[in-house]
Amino acid sequence: MTQVDHTRMANAIRGLAMDAVEKAKSGHPGLPMGAADIATVLFTQFLKFDAADPAWPDRDRFVLSAGHGSMLLYSLLYLTGNKEMTLDQLKHFRQLGSLTPGHPENFHTKGIETTTGPLGQGIATAVGMALAEKMLAAEFGKKIVNHHTYVLASDGDLMEGISQEAIALAGHWRLNKMIVLYDSNGISIDGPTSLSDSVDQVKRFKSAGWAAELIDGQDQQAIAAAITRAQKSNKPSMIACKTTIGYGAPHKAGTAKAHGEALGEEELKAAKEKLGISLEPFSVPDDVLKAWREAGARGAAAHKEWDEQFNQLGSRKRAEFERRIRHERPQSLAKALRAHKKSLLENPLNVATRKSSEAAIEVIAAAMPMEFVAGSADLTGSNNNKAKSAVAFAAKAPKGRFIHYGIREHGMAACLNGIFLHGGFAPNGATFLVFTDYARGAIRLSALMGTGVVYVMTHDSIGLGEDGPTHQPVEHLSALRAMPNMRVFRPCDAVETAECWELALNRIDGPTVLALTRQNLPQLRTTAPNDNPCSHGAYELVAAQGDAKVSLFASGSEVQIAVEAQKQLAERGIATRVVSVPALELLLSQPAERQNAIIGNAPVKIAIEAAVRWGWDAVIGHDGEFIGMHGFGASAPVKDLFKHFGITAEAVVNAALKRV
C-alpha cells in the first residue's frame, strides 16, 4: 500500500474539480473542495467497491445527492481507476458528448448510481436502494447481498420536502445500512443558509428515527470515527459534517461565490498555492494517483470472495439472481398473462380497470412473487395493486413485497427509481392519478434515467365522483404524455388492462403510467391476439359497415361511450368506426403509414376523453370534435358528472350528426 497523506489525497480532488470548472467556465467547485475530506475517507477506508467492475451487484452504493458537485464524483471515478473516466473526460467537463455532464447521469456514465441534480432526489432514491438491499438480502442471503448505501447530501437536499418523506421512510424501515453524510457548509446560492433556514438537522433526523450527530467535516479522524459508529448502528445514520464550501480558496471559501461558478484564474492559483497543489492544470502527483488507484482496487479481494460465494449458490439460484439483476422477466410471465387473457374472453370481467388490474396483478404476482414489488401511498384498498398473497414489508418483515409508503407520493416515486436501479425487482407504486403532480420531480427522473417502473394511477378522471376537482385529474394524462420516454396507458377494459400490464412490465428502459378507473366498465374486447394491439398505442376496436363517415377515438372509460355512440350512428345508417387509443403518445410515435392506417380518413373525426383536449388535435385535427373536459371537474356522484360535463353517447351522436 502506498502511504500518502490524507490531505494530499483530498487535494487531488480539489485540484481536479477547480481545474475542470475553470476550463469549462461553468460548474460548482465549492462542494468538491469542501467535501473532499469526507469523500477521501469514505472511498479509501470504507466504501466497498471495485473500480474494475462498477456493476458488481454487491458493491456499496454511493449517491451524490448534491449532484451539482458532480466534479467530486468524476474526480473520484478517475482517481480510483474507472476505465472510461479518463483525464480527457475531466478536461471536457460539461461539453457535448463527454462522460462528464453538468450533473451526474447514470444512464450515460458508468460508475454512477443514479442521476442527481434536482435536489432531494438522490437521498430519496437512495432510500429505495437501501430498501432493495434489505429485501434482496432477505431473499438471497447476506453472503450475496450485504452492502451499504452512502449518500452525500447538501443543505439544499435537506430543504426539499421530498427529503422528509425519504428520511421518515428510512427511519421507519430501520434501514441501518443507509448512511447519509450531510455536507453542512451552510451556504446556498443566495448566500448563507441562515437567510432562509434554521432547522436543527440532527434533531430533525433523530425525530424520524435516525442516529444523528454533528462532526467536523474537515477532520479525517472524526469522519472515520463517525462512519464506524454509523456502520454499527441499528438505525439509519446521518452524520452532519460541518465543512467549508470552497475549502482552500483564500477569498471565496465559506461564501456563495465558491458555489456555482469558476473560481477565476487568480483565486484558483491562490487556492492551489495555499493547498500545496501543482499549478499545472489537471495534474496529480504520481504517488497520490497510485494511492488512489490502490484505493480503487481495494475491493477486488472482496469482489473475488463474493464471486466465490456466488458460485457456491445452486445453478438455479444463480440464474435467478442474474436474471433478476438484468431485469429480465421470467418466461412464466408471458404464458400466465396469455392464459389470463384467454380466461377473460371466456368469463368477461365487467369491473373497474383498477379491479381488472388487480386481477392481472394476481396472475403476475404468482409468476414473479419475490420480484414484483408493489406499494401504495396510503390508498391500498383503492388502488387495488396488492395481490392477495402479498405480505406487507416491514423492518422485521423484509421478505414482504408490498410497501406501505404512507402519504408520500414523491418519496414513493423516488423509492421506485431506487429499487429499480439497485436491481432485482420490478417495482410499482400506486396513488390517484391526480397526485402524479406531487411526484412529478421523481417521475421525470424515471423517464430521463429510463427506469422500468410502473405507476399504478387509479381514479383517473371525473369518474372518481364525489371527491371533487381537487382529486379529479383533467390535465394529467396530457401532462404525462408530453414527457419524453414516458408511456401512458389508459386501458378500456379487462383485456386491455392485462395487455397494458404486460407491456409495462416488459418495458425496462422507461416508466409506464397505468391510468385506471374507479368506476365499473364493461369488457368490450372479444379477441386477445398474441401481438397485443395496445403495443401500437391504438387500434380499430369496432369496424364501420362500409366506408367510415365517422371515426370515434377514445381511451379508457370513454371507449364504452364511443361503442354505444357507434351503435346509435350505425342504426341511423352512418358508417362509424371506433378506435381504442390506450396510449395516445405511443400512437403518435408509430411510423406514418401505421398511424395513417389506424387514424383513417373518415371525414368526421371525434375524440372522446374525460380530460382536456391538449394533444388530441394531432389525431382529430384542430377542426375535429372533442367531447371531454374544458376545465376542472366538480364534486358529485359519477353518473351526474358525465352528464353534467356532456361526456355521453348522446353528445357524441349529436356532434357526429351535426358534422355528417
**Which residues ranging from 159 to 178 are in contact with its own copies (CB under 8 A)?**
159-165, 168-169, 171-172
Shortest approach of its own copies to residue 74 CB, angstroms? 12
Task: Match 355512440 to its residue by C-alpha cell.
Answer: 565
Member of 54, 441, 510, 628 binding its own copies (CB under 8 A)? 441
Q: Could you say which of 139, 320, 409, 499 is catalytic?
A: 409
**Residue 481 in the binding site for its own copies (CB under 8 A):** yes
Member of 362, 437, 540, 564 binding its own copies (CB under 8 A)? 437
Q: Which is nearer to its own copies, 192 or 522 (CB)?
A: 192
In the region spanning residues 250 to 289, those forming contacts with its own copies, defined by CB under 8 A, are none
389 annotated as belonging to a binding site for a ligand? no
* Alpha-carbon gap, residue 609 to 627, rounded angstroms: 7
259 annotated as belonging to a binding site for a ligand? yes
CB 584 within 8 A of CB 619: yes
* Alpha-carbon gap, residue 158 to 246, rounded angstroms: 20
**Residue 198 in the binding site for its own copies (CB under 8 A):** yes
* Beta strand spans in 387-462 (E): 402-404, 426-432, 454-458
In the region spanning residues 541 to 580, those forming contacts with its own copies, defined by CB under 8 A, are none
* Alpha-carbon gap, residue 161 to 151, rounded angstroms: 17
Member of 96, 346, 527, 658 binding its own copies (CB under 8 A)? 96
489 annotated as belonging to a binding site for a ligand? no
Q: Which is nearer to its own copies, 29 or 117 (CB)?
A: 117
Q: Is 160 labeled as catalytic in the residue annotation?
A: no
In the region spanning residues 446 to 475, those forming contacts with its own copies, defined by CB under 8 A, are 447-448, 465-471, 474-475
**Residue 603 in the binding site for its own copies (CB under 8 A):** no
What letter represents residue 503's amino acid? L
**Residue 376 in the binding site for its own copies (CB under 8 A):** yes
Q: Which is nearer to its own copies, 26 or 506 (CB)?
A: 26
476 annotated as belonging to a binding site for a ligand? no
Member of 478, 497, 523, 555 binding its own copies (CB under 8 A)? 478
**Residue 88 in the binding site for its own copies (CB under 8 A):** no
> What is the grid cell recorded at 286?
504520481
**Residue 236 in the binding site for its own copies (CB under 8 A):** no
207 annotated as belonging to a binding site for a ligand? no
- Phi first, then psi: what are they for 426, rounded to 5°? -110, 90
Member of 213, 216, 219, 378 binding its own copies (CB under 8 A)? 378
Host H or E run for residue 201: helix 201-207
CB 22 within 8 A of CB 246: no
DSSP-derived 3-state class of residue 345: helix
* Beta strand spans in 65-218 (E): 149-154, 178-184, 187-188, 191-192, 211-216
* Alpha-carbon gap, residue 129 to 102, rounded angstroms: 23
Shortest approach of its own copies to residue 611 CB, angstroms? 9
410 annotated as belonging to a binding site for a ligand? no
CB 515 within 8 A of CB 477: yes
In the region spanning residues 484 to 503, those forming contacts with its own copies, defined by CB under 8 A, are 484-485
* Alpha-carbon gap, residue 619 to 598, rounded angstroms: 10
Binding-site size, its own copies (CB under 8 A): 109
* Alpha-carbon gap, residue 107 to 409, rounded angstroms: 24
Shortest approach of its own copies to residue 248 CB, angstroms? 23
Task: Match 342504426 to its residue by C-alpha cell.
Answer: 571
119 annotated as belonging to a binding site for a ligand? yes
Interface segment toward its own copies; rule CB under 8 A; list 272-280, 494-502, 507-515, 636-644? 636-644
418 annotated as belonging to a binding site for a ligand? no
Give the residue from 397, 339, 348, 329 showing the smallest Cα distance to 138. Answer: 397
Q: Which is nearer to its own copies, 172 or 323 (CB)?
A: 172
Q: 15-54 mask for its own copies (x: CB under 8 A)?
A: ---------x-xx---------------------------
Rounded to 5°, the CA angle 144-148-151 comes to: 150
187 annotated as belonging to a binding site for a ligand? yes
Neighbours of 214 (CB within 10 A): 17
> What is the grid cell recorded at 135?
429485501
CB 464 within 8 A of CB 638: yes
Q: Which is nearer to its own copies, 48 or 354 (CB)?
A: 354
- Residues listed for the chain: 660
Host H or E run for residue 570: helix 559-571
**Residue 391 in the binding site for its own copies (CB under 8 A):** no
According to DSSP, the residues that pair with 489 across neighbouring strands are 514
DSSP-derived 3-state class of residue 456: strand
Please give the DSSP secondary-structure letter assigned to residue 435: G
Shortest approach of its own copies to residue 631 CB, angstroms? 4
Task: Match 455536507 to its residue by C-alpha cell.
Answer: 183
311 annotated as belonging to a binding site for a ligand? no
According to DSSP, the residues that pair with 576 across neighbouring strands are 550
Q: Which is nearer to its own copies, 594 or 632 (CB)?
A: 632
**Residue 622 in the binding site for its own copies (CB under 8 A):** yes
**Residue 594 in the binding site for its own copies (CB under 8 A):** no
467 annotated as belonging to a binding site for a ligand? yes
Shortest approach of its own copies to residue 240 CB, angstroms? 12
* Active centre residues (catalytic): 409
**Binding-site sequence positions for thiamine diphosphate:** 68, 117-119, 156, 185, 259, 435
**Binding-site sequence positions:** 28, 68, 117-119, 155-156, 185, 187, 259, 354, 382, 435, 459, 467, 471, 518
